[in-house]
Amino acid sequence: MFANSSLSTTASRAAADYYPSALHEEALARLAYLAEKGTACGLLLGPRGCGKSLILSRFTQQQRQKGAAVAAVCAAGALAGELLTAIGTAWGADVRVSDELPQIWQMTTDRLRVLSLEQIPALLLVDDLDRAWGEGAAIVDRLQAFTEGTGANLVLIAAAESRGRDLLSPRFLARAELRAELDVWTHEESQGFLQQWQSHRGGENQEFDLQAMAVLHDLAEGIPRRVRQLAELTMLAGSRTEDGPLSEDIVEAAYEELCIGR
């Protein structure tokens, strides 16, 4: 099933991993603005590892808490039937992967009509749209065309790498009325994340000293996913040493392990 496993996994650790950097908070605010419109299309861009999936996961949680029907899916490598089944299921349609594509389409779009009639906000969040196969991207376009032709309400938001925007369909790009772009963290944001991340872990006696945090940020190039990965390896490496602050030497040793493991 292509209900986004990365989004689901991300949701379980979102409290610890999400850091309210200026760009991330702005992106969430802009997506919330789109959701309030009832019918809209938006695009979330950024380099790989900069938190697009995490933003979509957090936004999914927020909108579901408000009562919206949210389909959060990953388009990377998904077949049309798999993608549409995940969307329909998330909206409450009784669809199965074993059903024929026309049947899945009918039940999914019927459900979208019902949501519109019941005035329940319907959202479709598509991660990795730039990595979709042709038939998967075509399903997203077709749903967009369906809402335009029938008057059904749908907020469609897709995430893609900045360098992959040219891989998106002309239809989608023409209708994306709002674009939010993420980027790497500053030194201060990496430091803030590390302090928050350690406080969520609890029970840890070792903390990063200031120089270690600066070195970690530089080695991870400020990319949020790499910052967290290197922080985890540093904590593991630090557990093998005597108690005390996690130094830049421990960070560099952990970084060497990370590079070897790639």
Residues 135 and 243 occupy one common structural domain: no
Q: Please say which residue of 162, 181, 200 terminates a domain.
A: 181
Evaluate if residue 1 carries a pLDDT over 60.
no
CB count within 10 Å of CB 32 equals 13
DSSP single-letter state for residue 163:
G
- pLDDT category of residue 79 using cuts at 50, 70 and 90: very high
Q: Please say which residue of 181, 205, 239 terminates a domain.
A: 181
Residues 79 and 25 occupy one common structural domain: yes
Residues 10 and 106 occupy one common structural domain: yes
Using one digit for the tens of pLDDT, what is the confidence trace for 168-186?
999 999 999 999 999 999 9
Residues 35 and 134 occupy one common structural domain: yes
Residues 119 and 47 occupy one common structural domain: yes
Q: Are 52 and 98 in contact (CB under 8 A)?
A: no
The predicted model gives 119-138 an average pLDDT of 96
pLDDT attached to residue 119:
96
**Average pLDDT, rounded, for the chain:** 90
% of the chain with per-residue pLDDT over 90: 78
Residues 144 and 14 occupy one common structural domain: yes
- How many domains does the chain fold into? 2
Phi, psi of 42 (to 5 degrees): -140, 165
Using one digit for the tens of pLDDT, what is the confidence trace for 34-44?
999 999 999 99
Alpha-carbon span 97 to 88, nearest angstrom: 11
Tokens of 35: 């959701």
Residues 103 and 221 occupy one common structural domain: no
Residues 134 and 192 occupy one common structural domain: no
Tokens of 229: 């990965």
Q: Are 115 and 87 in contact (CB under 8 A)?
A: no
Q: Where are the alpha helices (DSSP H) in the chain?
A: 5-12, 14-17, 22-37, 52-65, 80-91, 101-117, 134-150, 170-175, 187-201, 210-219, 224-238, 248-261
Q: What is the CATH number of the domain that holds 249?
A: 1.10.8
pLDDT attached to residue 202:
64
Q: What is the CATH number of the domain that holds 136?
A: 3.40.50.300
Residues 239 and 150 occupy one common structural domain: no
pTM confidence score: 0.88
Residues in the chain: 262
* Residue 194 domain boundaries: 187-261
Residues 27 and 71 occupy one common structural domain: yes
**CA gyration radius for the chain?**
20
Residues 212 and 131 occupy one common structural domain: no
Using one digit for the tens of pLDDT, what is the confidence trace for 8-61?
444 445 556 899 999 999 999 999 999 999 999 999 999 999 999 999 999 999
- Would you give the end-to-end CA distance of the chain in angstroms? 28
Q: Are 20 and 96 in contact (CB under 8 A)?
A: no
Q: Please say which residue of 181, 205, 223 terminates a domain.
A: 181
Residues 169 and 198 occupy one common structural domain: no
